[in-house]
Amino acid sequence: MQQRRSLLSIPASLLFLLPAGVFVFIFIILPFFWIAAVSFTNRTLTGRTAVDPEYVGLANYLRLFDPDRFLRSGEFGASLVITGQFVFFSAIVGQVLLGLLLAWFFFNRKGWVRETVQTLAILAWIMPDVVVAFAWFAFLDRDAGTLNQILSTLGIGKPDWLINLPLVSVIIFNTWRGTAFSMLLFTSAFGSIPPSHLETAAVAGANTWQRLRDIILPLIRTHIITDLILITLWTFNTFTPFLLTGGGPAFQTELVSIFTYRTAFKFFRFGQGSAVGMIMMLINLVFAIFYLFLLRRQQVKL
């Protein structure tokens, strides 16, 4: 019976899976092999090399990892270092940790304050990138910006944020933009903890920190890892800081995504751009495998 039903449903299931099949094949698998192949050529968008690209071997990769220029500003290595700092501070410390703390802070608190904070956090998250970038651009302005007006009333100097501290600005900006997602995810995770667990712990005399460490965190660790995966990858691949700084000044905020854009779409050097794409994909894969490994290990422990 079971056997027959599953056999019967094969044609129907194919019908339902067709869009995904087309999607994966045309928009993922083909492009994947395309960039893998093109990354070994000197292909460009137009001109002679567009029609008849030459095989250049590992030249594109060697050029990216050329030790003489690797860490020079505006090159791939420098951009990786910048992205590393950006991901660490604005994704892991900023969004995940801050989101967790905020969710914990509002856990079990009711009333208008919590409602308002949640609403505003989601708002910051759904607002158009361009709008947010413009607001921050004005906010960080050296002379007329609100931030410096506040700092100078407090007696702290007036740094020119986007010129002298561009990476810091971009990190704060991205944290502000994205923390809402983590906060809401953790809020819902906290909501799924059975209240009896916490009550028992309270009766046993556990303090707030012990309750967080020994009960809440272990119970929501799959949420934490899911959040870490999504936030790390989103932050690694985000292009939004481009709207705030354009990658500058002097390439100081040139994240890998912006580096790819510049290589592939400013000069239309597709061979070079594909090589960068391949490496970005590998890095993403390493992140994902690492987190999935954590997830697997945690489950085995149970």
Partner 1 sequence: MATISTTQTTRQKDRSLNKQSRTLVMRAAITSLTLVILLLYLLPLGYSVLTSLKSKAQVSDVNAPILPSEAQTYFYEGEEYDVYKIPTAEGEKEWALVQKGRSSSQFVDPQNPEAGLIEWQGRWRTLKPSYQLAFQWSNYPRAFNFINFWRLLGFTLLYAIVTTIAATSSAAIVAYGFSRFRFPFKSVLFIILISTIILPPQVTLVPMYAFFYRIGWVGTWLPLIVPQFFSNAYNVFLLRQYFMTIPTSMEEAARIDGAGPIRTFISVILPQAVPALIAVSLFHFFFAWNDFFGPLIYLAGSAELNPIAVGLFRFNGLYSSEPQLIQAASILTMIIPLLIFFFAQRFFMQGIVVTGEK
Window 102-131: residues binding partner 1 (CB under 8 A): 102, 105, 109, 113, 116-117, 119-124, 126-131
Residue 49 is inside which H or E element, if any?
Answer: helix 48-51
DSSP H helices in 160-269: 161-164, 166-191, 195-203, 208-211, 217-219, 221-237, 241-245, 256-261
User: Considering beta carbons, is residue 138 or 202 the nearer one to partner 1?
Assistant: 138
SS3 192: coil
Site for partner 1 in 45-104 (CB under 8 A): 45, 102
Chain-centroid distance, C-alpha 268:
25
- Backbone φ and ψ for 41, nearest 5 degrees, come out as -125, 175
Residue 236 in contact with partner 1, rule: CB under 8 A: yes
Contact 233, 288 (CB under 8 A): yes
Other CB atoms closer than 10 Å to residue 295's CB: what's the count?
17
Residue 237 in contact with partner 1, rule: CB under 8 A: yes
User: Considering beta carbons, is residue 240 or 252 the nearer one to partner 1?
Assistant: 240
Q: Which residue has the tokens 């949420």?
A: 223
Residue 162 in contact with partner 1, rule: CB under 8 A: no
| Residues in a beta bridge with 55 | 41
- Of 60-68, 155-163, 207-215, 276-284, the segment contacting partner 1 by CB under 8 A is 276-284
Shortest approach of partner 1 to residue 133 CB, angstroms? 9
User: Considering beta carbons, is residue 68 or 283 the nearer one to partner 1?
Assistant: 283
Residue 134 in contact with partner 1, rule: CB under 8 A: yes
Site for partner 1 in 180-219 (CB under 8 A): 181, 184-186, 188-189, 192
